[in-house]
Every structure is written in structure tokens, then in C-alpha cells.
Structure 1
Amino acid sequence: MTVELSPDDATDPGLSPLRNFGNEVMLERMRMNMSRVELGRAVACGESLVAKIERGDRVPQREFAEGCDRVFPYANGRFVRLWRLVIRYAYPPWFRPYVALEEKATMVRMFNPQLIPGLVQTPDYARAILRTGRPDNLDELLTARLERQRILVREDKPPANLRLVLNEAVLRNVVGDPAIMRGQLAHLRDLGEVPRNRVQIIPDRGRHHGYQCPFGLLSFSEGADVAHVDGFPRGYVLAEPDDVSAAQGAYDLLTAMAASPDESAELIGVILKGCYP
């Protein structure tokens, strides 16, 4: 996943969402005769980060945009609105349609045989995963990935319900180090304790169930479900009824093979204590 500024000249604030955001921050800061140090203090970040955002070298977090809306008079939510466009361009073109659908979903069903999905990764786990690709924009990729997780805790509308099925091997595949795994498994167990969520683990009984590819389903308050298949070099969305029906059937089989949510929480706890004490 790479940060795409725009299809045109990214140095022009009128064409690049990221440059435009930074340019607006700089103009408002200068209008108020504020230094970057002063703005950083007001929005709880460092001077160097303010400078990088103003130059369009760093994708800002939502909290930075919210801070600008508080600090700059008459902003009226402008910086959060600009930020939404910035974060959209932080995803590659092929992934943007899925993210837009995910934001509207009332239920997200996911299966992964090897890794914790990005939607429920802790920052440390996500950073360790992203680092393996040796990107030169790691912080931007991490910001974009973690931003997707807001759908699980959003307050402006009901949070999306999570349905997650994982192979037991996912809990044992060490990403980063034991400390990272402890945090990730604890987070996974906490997610499963939220009443609207279901986290289920398929115990390793020595027999493979046959599903090797990560995939998921999105459901909406209106309209048909869609399926998403993760893969290399890119994933893809399936909307054809036959494809979606096949994905629904496969997911139902996986949930039937998995332990119950309560049994799965116990298994997570056992692995936490036994593998990452």
C-alpha cells in the first residue's frame, strides 16, 4: 500500500489532497501569527510533525485535523473534511472502493488463516507487519490502516458488528516479538468480549479445513452483501450474487468448524499464558 498524492503534480496545493491540507494548515497558522511550536502544543504534537504535515510529507492523523478545527477560528470542521480526502488517497486506487464500502458496513465478517486482519491489529502488530515490506512511508501506511478501525467504535452512527474467524495458527505465528503478540492477543480477546462482536478460533486438530485465502463479507442496512478476497499483489471486491453466496457458504462452514466465542476466548487465554508469558 502506497500513499498516492494525486494523479497530477503533487507539488501543487490545488491538485494534491495532502499538499492542500498542509497548505491550509500553514495559511491558518500564519494568519494567526502562530509558530509551528505553538501549533504543535495546541494540537498535542511536535514542531517537526507540524512541519512535515505542512509540506505534505506526512499523512496527519484525524486528531490533528480535529485539533486544527479547535484552534483555528471559523474552521467549522473544514480540516476534518479535508482530512477525509487526504486519508482516502492514503490507500492505493484498487483498495479505495473496499474502504468506502467498509465505512458503510453494519457488519464485517472476516476470515484469515495466517495473520490478524488489519481491521483489528494493534499499532505495534500492524507496524511489524508493514515493516516486512520495507516501505519508505511506514508511518503513513500505519496511519491509514489504523484509521479503518474507527468503524468498530464510531459514535456518529452505530458501530459495525464484527465477526472474525481465525486459525489457531494465527495466534501462534509470532509477529514482531512476544510483547507485541501479548498485546495483540489481549486486544483480540477484548474485542470478543464486546457483545456485538464474535471472535472464533478454529482449533488445530491436525487436519486442514481447505481454506487458504483470507476473505470477508460486508453487510449493509440497505443493499446486498459484498465479498472481499485478499491476495497478492492486490485484493478485489466481488458483488455478483453467485460469488457472494459462495463466500457466505464458505464462511458459514468455517464458523461451524470453529470453537464457540467463549471457548475461543479461553483458547486465546491459554495461548497467551503458554506462548507469551
Structure 2
Amino acid sequence: MRVTVEAEDASQDPAATPLTFFGAEVQVERERRGIKREELAEAASCGYSLVAKIEAGKRTPSLEFARACDRLFPGSDGRFERLWPLALKYAFPGWFQRYVSLEWKASAVRMFHPQLCPGLVQTERYARAVLRTGRPSNLESLVTGRIERQRILERESDPARLWLVLNQAALTNQVGDREVMHEQLAHLLVLAETPRHRVQIVPDKGHHHGWASPFGILSFPDDQDVVHVDGFPRGYLLAETEDVTRATDAYDLLMALALPPDESAELITDIQKERYS
């Protein structure tokens, strides 16, 4: 049985999880300084109800929210930003938390998906549409967690490099409405045009290339690669040398089957215009 973030009751035990602890600390600091929720909501560019849910340990804070707390509460010295990575973990199922911790440290990420744009490159609306299909009770926390993961591609110090290979089906399988897809493909094009990233599309030629499972490879500056294989009901990590070698070989073959980056960008643009304009 999976226990969702919303199942936690911060009023019973504020230290039950890093998420409830984060919320309780925000509430204590806010009330101690006589600051209203409306003031914190304005400083964090969010709604009153979101502040209330974060304080109750029922919603995952964004990094911007943590930074707003540090700005608004004198003397915090970055405490809420330091607590934020721990709170963020609880936006994910327990089995996925180890992967997120590794992904956060990765210097390079190689990903393949046969049917969808993977979470690391999803827009917020695309992510919400994908996650909604599972009817989770903590949808908004899951969306927040998925979008916040993408900070590894934008961090100021040594942003991770991304190499993404997608089947053409990932561009034509409509998630949400046409506007959602138009926005998602536009985001792929931005990534494709970023010098440190690569986006390649395996064109649909009417036959299957042999790989049906989404998988990714994380690389680190001073450690061995790790493979993550997506699946139901949960994904799993592989670190054995033989498994990593096989995954790397498979990825190399997928890259060889895919269109070159420039031609891939042209295909993305064509599909965006023809199907989602």
C-alpha cells in the first residue's frame, strides 16, 4: 500500500517526515514574527491556500517558496532552502526517492522513452495531464516534484547534460489537448537548441526496433554509471557492471537508429505545426 503525502497529519506529529517538519517550521517562524499567510503568499507568488497546505505538510514546496521564506524571515540564513531538498523527496513514492537523490548528483543523463516525453523534460501542464491518468490523491505534489527535478538541467554550477532519445510516437501520442502538446514540443525544441543537450527522434518506419521499456543512464564525475528502468508498478535501479554495459550498448544502438539532432528538430517542428497548431 502506498502512503501519499496527503495522508500525513502534521498536527499529530510535525516531525513525522521532512515535509511535515518543513511546514511546521514555516508556520512557527511566520507566527513568531507576526506575519500573515497572505503576506507569505504574496512574497512567494502563490495563493493563501497553498501556504496553508504547505504548513500542514500536505503540499510539497517549490524552491521559490523556500527562498521566499528565507527572504521574509530575517536571520534564517538560508535555512529553508537547505531544508527544501529533504522536503522535496516526499513528493515521490518511497521506491523512487533513491533515484531522485542520484539524479540530483548526476553530471549527465541519457534517457529513452518509446511513448511519452519523460518527466525530466515535461512542461507543467503535460506533467499534470500524464500524472492525472493514475488518479493520485497527491497530484499537485507529484507535479511540483516532477518539475523541480528539472533544476539539475539549469543549476548555476555544473548543470547536467541531457541526451534524450524518443520514438516518434512520443510526439504524436496526444497528452492533454493540442495546446498542451504544442507547448511540450516547443520545450523539446528549446532543449534541442541548447548546446550542452542533445535530442534525437527515432522515426516511425513501420517496424519496431526492439526496445519497449523506458530507461535512463545517470553518469557522475567520480562514480560509476547507474541505470534506471521504468516499469509497473515501480521502476528499479541497476548498478552491476554487466547491466550498465548492456544498457549503454542499447542506448548507442538507439542513437544510431535515430535521426541526427538537426533533422530531429525539424521533425519535431513539422509535427508541432501539422498536428498541434
In the TM superposition, what is the alpha-carbon distance from 1:23 to its structure 2 partner? Answer: 1.3
Q: Contact conserved, 1:112 with 1:215, CA < 8 A, in 2?
A: yes
CA contact (8 A) 1:5 1:17 kept: no
Structure 2 unaligned residues grouped into runs of 5+: none
**What residue in structure 1 maps to residue 40 of structure 2?**
39
Aligned to 2:231: 231
**Where do residues 90-101 of structure 1 align in structure 2 (5 Å cutoff)?**
90-101=91-102
Structure 1 vs Structure 2 CA RMSD: 1.8
Query: Contact 1:164–1:198 (CA<8 Å) still a contact in 2?
Result: yes
Distance 1:40 1:276 in 2: 35
Identify the residue that residue 129 of structure 2 maps to in structure 1.
128
Counterpart of 1:164?
A: 164
Alpha carbons of structure 1 residues 180 and 20: separation in structure 2 relative to 1, 3 Å: same
Check the 8 A contact 1:128/1:176 in 2, yes or no: yes
Comparing 54-63 with 196-205, which one deviates more in the overlay?
54-63
Q: CA deviation at 1:3?
A: 4.0
The CA deviation at 1:33 is 1.2
Q: Is the 8 A contact 1:201 1:264 kept in 2?
A: yes
AA in 1 matched with 2:270? V
Give the TM-score taking structure 2 as reference length: 0.95
- Cα gap change, 1:8 to 1:42, in 2 (>3 Å): closer
Partner residue, 1:23: 24
CA deviation profile, 1:173-197 (whole Å, cap 9, x unmatched):
0001110000000100110100000
Matched, 1:144 2:117: no
| Equivalent position amino acid for 1:95 in 2 | F
Equivalent residues of 2:10, 2:20 under 8 A apart: no
Amino acid at match of 1:64: F
Write out aligned runs for 1:1-277 (5 A): 3-4=4-5, 11-155=12-156, 157-277=157-277
Would you say the 8 A contact 2:5–2:138 is kept in 1?
no
Q: Aligned partners of 2:173, 2:17: CA distance in 1, in Å?
A: 39
Where does the alignment leave 5 or more consecutive residues of structure 1 unmatched? Answer: none
2-structure distance, mates of 1:177, 1:169: 16
How far apart, CA to CA, are the structure 2 residues paired with 1:10 and 1:50?
A: 15
The range that moved more, 212-221 or 91-100, is: 91-100
For the Cα contact (< 8 Å) 2:225–2:244, is it kept in 1? yes
**Alpha-carbon shift at residue 8 of structure 1 (Å):** 10
Q: Which letter maps to 1:194?
A: T
